[in-house]
Amino acid sequence: MRYISTRGEAPALAFDDALLAGLAGDGGLYVPEAWPELSPAEWRRLRGLNYPDLAAELLAPFAAPAFDREALRSLCRTAYARFAHPAVAPLVQVAPHRFVLELFHGPTLAFKDFALQLLGLMFERVLAARRRRITIVGATSGDTGSAAIEACRDRDNLAIVILHPHGRVSEVQRRQMTTVAAANVANLAVEGTFDDCQDLVKAMFADRAFRDELRLSAVNSINIARVAAQIPYYAWAALALGAPDRPVAFAVPTGNFGNVLAAWAASRMGLPVARLIVGTNRNDILTRFFLRNDMSIAPVVPSLSPSMDIQVSSNFERLLFELLGRDAARTAETMRAFRTTGRMPIPPAAWEESRRMFAGFALDDEGTLAEIARTRRESGYLADPHTAIGLAAARACAPEDRGIPVVVAATAHPAKFPDAVERAVGERPALPPNLADLMTREERYEVVPNDLGLIESRIRAHALRNAA
């Protein structure tokens, strides 16, 4: 498998090179030259596999020849052995034909663990073979940072720096990042929004001298390996509910579009997906697009679901590339116009094509609290604010054929957002035992202005200290 840039001006790369590169040199995102496809018979043969072995089978066509099936099986078994639930990603029924796919049983209690626990092992293997060091730089709206740090902490061949928006993540999310006492980890709290943090990371990758000096790599969902590693849990749920002989719909709370893009990729691989329901909070750029072809940037507004407080959804570029017939020049032109004008002109035919699969739904904070309370009252299930948006979206946008099961991606443990959950149901969820002392651990982070030069100097100093 080779990977090409959505903007067409970077060289095609093998999987291991795309893994290390993260963002393409032309500012685009890597996508497979062709999406692998499985026949119905091949999907049926995957039924009954445990989660690690299923993940290895589905990742094999993406990772070859850098990782063969045996290597992937070993890495996946190691990565998912750290998850607290024996099923790794259990399905819980909350209503007729409606299920919750719990993606929060990893070490940092969020869906990002599925990809990042595996990517940490992949980075280590590739870097050891090449005798190289890299500096990983990431932006987080809340969950990517802690998952990336947990996956990369104490690894000899890399340093990691995570940027988060100061005061715009939950206290639990922040402490999961800032209380990690590992020499190769640094946290910068940027005075700005997640979109500012994301723009800073992209600017660092565009700074070729800085990128080459520190051998930058990315763990955000701009890294195609992360998207590929999230495909298996959608297949896992669909196979459990009868696929490929029965279609399934997914409702996914999302901000940066990476998680729902993985579900779309599963459908491209032949999984029968009836609908993908995109759930957003008041930062509703994705919902506005799918409802009325309005992809226009608005100010980021803080919410009870901070991981979705995003107005520039980086992974949408990958879908745009596909909607434009894989025309890299048109994709690059459209993205340039978006960054210049704040609006993305999508041809009506391409927008209509997107609506064949996608539906959009937005929920404000008041509605989110109401949905947490409603779900608890009607099914006994306790959802975090992000999952609550997915649950409301599933109910509002379910396929007309009510026999089609709708699976809601439960992206975070409710204990990551205890204040919101307590406001909704009068019950404060407890952290699991391994994080019980989180609120008393010493924090290590620096608050910095939104200044590219200053932040690059901080990252350079951290990388050099760790290389010494």
- Residues with catalytic function: 112
Degrees (nearest 5) of the Cα angle 460, 462, 465?
A: 105
The answer to whether residues 19 and 126 touch, using CB atoms and an 8 Å cutoff, is yes
The residue behind tokens 């996508």 is 31
Q: How many residues does the chain have?
A: 468
C-alpha torsion 343→345→350→354, nearest 10: 10
At 223, which helix (H) or strand (E)? Answer: none
Rounded Cα distance between 94 and 90, Å, is 13
What one-letter code names the amino acid at 63? A
* Residue 198: how many other CB atoms lie within 10 Å: 23
> Cβ neighbours of residue 372 under 8 Å, at least 6 residues apart?
382, 383, 384, 385, 388, 420, 421, 424, 425
Cβ-count burial of 241 within 10 angstroms (0-12 exposed, 13-18 middle, 19+ buried)?
middle
Q: Catalogue the E-assigned strands of 166-203.
A: 185-190
Instruction: Kindly list the distances between the CA atom of residue 389 and the CA atoms of 144, 288, 392, 401, in Å, as whole numbers in the listed order.
Output: 19, 16, 5, 22
Rounded Cα distance between 74 and 79, Å, is 9
Closest listed residue to residue 354, CA positions, set 331, 321, 398? 321
The residue behind tokens 């006994």 is 380
Write the DSSP string, 243-273: TTSS-EEEEEE-SSSHHHHHHHHHHHTT--E
